[in-house]
Amino acid sequence: MTSISKNVALLMGLAAIASISTAYALMQDVQSTKGVQSEHGGFLGHVTLVLYGPDGQIKTYRQTDNLVVTNGDNATANKMFFGTNAGRKLSVCAQPCTAANVNVFQYIAVGTGPTAPTANDVGLSGATNNNAGNRASNGRIATTIVNGTTQHGTVQLSTTWPANRLTNTTTASIQEAGLFDQPFNFTTQANMFSRQTFSAIGVNPADTLQITWTITIT
């Protein structure tokens, strides 16, 4: 093989290596961008449920992550970026609705529905009634909100159903919880931010149920 042929072969080899290196670098850039998007793009929610007996001892403990539903995303985006209370109301009122605002997500609801959460959920699958049948004072109750100081923005909401609130006759089988922007009533719609199901918790009339909901913005 002549020196010219050797030089040509060498140049072709170097060109091939350069092409492969360029393609690899481009792929690395794409993967890196995708990683940043998925790592820094939303809300993380964690729910802790503790059932106490009348003696104050823990009877049942559950903890699980939640699913932020589409309506929660829509309502949050509307509140943050449009500067108004106007929201995407997807839930259905039992009677004609009189309000269409997005309020602070500070009401936790519990229910008996075992159906797994989906992004299209707009409410609980089996919201509970209390012993008087008045869901406004039971189905969703206000929380105590504490701002977190961790690396990312964190908020913690906590509330407690006292004895005889969920039931005063038989055991209530609580299997789901949701986070809403309004207490329950029959004339206003409420946005649900997130929902989760879990293994059933049997709540007796004298029991107390405490729920802590932690939301982290990533």
Structure tokens at 161: 């159903």
pLDDT score recorded for residue 202: 95
Rounded-to-integer distance, Cα 209 and Cα 169, Å: 16
Rounded-to-integer distance, Cα 155 and Cα 45, Å: 10
pLDDT score recorded for residue 99: 42
Per-residue pLDDT of the chain (218 residues; tens, 9 = 90+): 555 555 545 556 555 555 544 444 333 333 333 333 334 357 888 999 999 999 999 999 999 999 998 888 877 777 777 655 544 444 444 433 344 567 778 889 898 889 999 998 888 887 765 443 333 334 556 666 666 555 567 888 898 999 988 887 889 899 999 998 877 654 456 788 999 999 999 999 999 999 999 988 87
Which strands, in side-by-side order, build the sheet including 208-217? 58-65, 43-52, 208-217, 153-161, 144-147
Q: Which residues are CB-contacts of 65 (< 8 A; sequence separation ≥ 6)?
A: 44, 45, 46, 47, 196
pLDDT score recorded for residue 128: 66
